[in-house]
Each structure stands twice: as structure tokens, then as C-alpha cells.
Amino acid sequence: MAEGGVTNTKLLFFFVIVLYAPVTCTSVLDTISANQTISEPEQTTHQHLRRPNSLSSRSSNQTWTLDEYITENGKSSSGGGKVRIIVPIASVILVIILVYIFLFYRYKRKNRTQEGTNRDERGHDHVNNSENEDLELPLFSFSTLVKATNKFSLNNKLGEGGFGPVYKGVLEDGQEIAVKRLAETSTQGLHEFKNEVISISKLQHRNLVKLLGCCIDGAEILLIYEYLPNKGLDSFIFDKSRSKLIDWPTRFKIINGIARGLLYLHQDSRLRIIHRDLKVSNILLDSEMNPKISDFGMARSFGGNQIEANTNRVVGTYGYMAPEYAGNGIFSIKSDVYSFGVLVLEIVSEEKNRDFLHEEHSNNLIGHAWELHKEGKSLQLVDKSLILVDSMAVWQSCINKNRISRR
């Protein structure tokens, strides 16, 4: 009610200005016009007058007869009538423009303030349900992080995602950390920050990235993680030279590790968590090439027996989204499993689903894989550098044995 009263007061003030401005301008112009009337009209026509500079372009030393003065003054008076019509209209337009700019500015400012905190989604977000919980998460000072990252030097930059750039840092005790800093241009904000903090601060699993702490200092919002020297899986898979460093046994270990982490999120954690943005670049690798799932800014949690939800705000990365989620906003455990399937295809083929376009049938990577499966040629999807003659039978066995439906 209070907000509605403020809005009504603003509108009333606006209409008072719009209606009062023309009357005020007209009254002022009438007064000015009256004051400019000649006070001695009985002067003879033979008397000479000096012409004011504002009424003519003649020089100030030139004299005028009274007839000429009256004639010119009459022209000015008729012009003044036009001015009395134009000025009020112009002032009304100006007031409307200024009020519109003011309201537009207030609207944009309000949106920026609420950005990332309000979501047009059905159901309850676990952030709202848990924001009052004691997270017991260490808080870092901004000055400590500035020093650790050498003032966020470009030489320390590890990469950049939707939240912002990530920097390597070293604390005073020698511990290496990864610092994720919210970018000014990021479409994410406080909501995603709180979401990530609450999602993984109490999750402990060897295949989930470990959150060490956070920092909020004015406009600066930062997350501090354990440092993983081998960075993201994408830096290996999609790099033709580095991809040779990870053979099939290593990739198989990575796939299994991701599956274990996903199983923990879906079944074994305190709350059932749907990641919603599982992709190759969100899989980090430690020094022993063990995978860790990262970036929980888009995650949602389910409680009780809830197995799916619907949202009007679809987030994530196209190419990894399940059709029912991308099209209708329905997400569940199946959504993450679909993303995991795309991720596996990219690991074994070394191709990006979004960039892949088959020359013959113009399918993406998923469509191409399905065509090969129907033809019984699934092995052709595997990158040739991974296939050895002795392992052909093993590959075929993995493809055909224990097929699990996503249903």
C-alpha cells in the first residue's frame, strides 16, 4: 500500500506540472507584453525615437519615426502572440521528457538492484530456504585477495566464465587458491553467488570442487576455491596437441569420476541438487587428472520426494540442455543425465556438440551419434587417436553391454 501511495503521489505531481505549466507561461508572457506597451501614445508623428536594439537589425544610432516604431512594434506584438502559443507547448513537452527520463532512470536502477535476486520460477529456491543457515564459511578480506593475485594480474588469469574471470593466487602461508571475481559485465550477480555458496559449502565429495571461502567488499564479489593445476577438461579435449596427453584409460577415469560426483548430487547429498550447467568447461582436473564438478551458480535443490520442477527462466548452455528443459523449462535429474551424455560424446569424439555439423545429413554431434548407433557403427564416433587394434573388442563391448535408458 505504501508503494502504491508513493506512485499515486508521483503521478499527481506529474499532472499538476503538466496542467499548470501552460497557465503559468501564458500569465508571464501577458505581463511582459503589457509592460512593453508604449506609455506615451499622444506623441506627434513628427517626433523621432530611438529604435531598441532588440527590435531591428538597424544600427543603434539610427532614428525612427513614431509611425515606423508603431508598425514594427505591431509586428513584434503579433509575433508575441505566436510565442504565447508555442512556448507553453514546448515547456509541456520538455516536462514530459524530463519526467520520462527520471522514471526510466529509477526503473533501471531498481532493476539493477534486484538483478539476480528475483527469479520468475515456480517452486522454492534453496537459496531463500537456506540463506539464514550458518554456513561456517571463511571470509577473506579484499586486500588479502588483491595481494594473493598480484592485483589480479593478467599473468595470473586462469580463464573466464559466465560469473567472471578466475585468477590464481598464493596466500601468505603458501597455499595456492583460485579466485573467481564477479565481472561488471556479467549477467550473473548476488543470487548466483549465494546459490553457489549455499550449494557446495556443505557438500563434501572428492569429485566436487572445494569452496574455501568468499569475499564481499562493496561492489566486489569473489569466491575462493582450491587450486586445480590442470584447469578445465576443455583445455585438453578440444586442443589437438594437448588431447594426446590423455589416453583412453585416463578419459575413462574422468568419465567415471564425473558420474560419481553427479550420483552424489542426485542421491547421496543432504538435498537432491540439479546442476543445470554440466559441461566440459565446468569439469576441473587436479594434479592426478581426477575430475571435479564446478560452477554451481545455476544449481537448484529438491527436498523430500520432489523429482522435477518447472521454470520460466531457462539457464545453462545450449548444446548441453535436455530438450524438455530448453523447450518447456522442465528440469530434473534427467536434465543433468542428458548433459552428462553430451559431455561423454565430446570426450570420446573430441568434437564440440554446438560446433559440429555433419557434411551429409547436417546433424549436430548428438544427431550424428544417433545415426551411427542405428547403423551399428557407433565406434566410428570415437576419435581415431584413441582406438588401438587390441582395444577394438573392448570398445565394442562397452557400447553394446548394459545399455541404460535415460527414462
DSSP 14-61: HHHHHHHHHHHHHHHHHHHHHHTS-S-TTS-TT-EEEPPGGG-SS-TT
Do 283 and 294 touch, CB atoms closer than 8 A? yes
Question: What's the one-letter identity of residue 237?
Answer: I
Q: Look at the chain and count its residues.
A: 407
Active site residue 277: yes
Burial class (CB in 10 A: 0-12, 13-18, 19+), 37: exposed
Give CA–CA dist 196/118, Å, rounded. 16
CA distances (Å), origin 238, targets 207, 235, 378, 399: 22, 6, 21, 23
* Backbone angle region of 376, left / alpha / beta, with phi > 0 → left and psi within -120 to 50 → alpha: left
**What is the spatial distance between Cα 303 and Cα 274, in angstroms, rounded to a whole number?**
11
Tell me how far apart the alpha carbons of residues 232 and 348 are, in angstroms, rounded to a whole number: 16
Is residue 248 a contact partner of residue 304, using CB atoms and an 8 Å limit?
no
**Beta-strand (E) ranges in 91-164?**
157-160
When computed from its CA atoms, the radius of gyration of the chain, rounded to whole angstroms, is 36
Query: Would you call 76 exposed, middle or buried from its count of C-beta atoms within 10 A (0-12, 13-18, 19+)?
Result: middle
Cα–Cα distance measured from residue 131 to residue 122, given in angstroms and rounded to the nearest whole number: 18
Per the residue annotation, which of 277, 286, 383, 390 is the catalytic one? 277
Q: What positions carry a catalytic annotation? A: 277
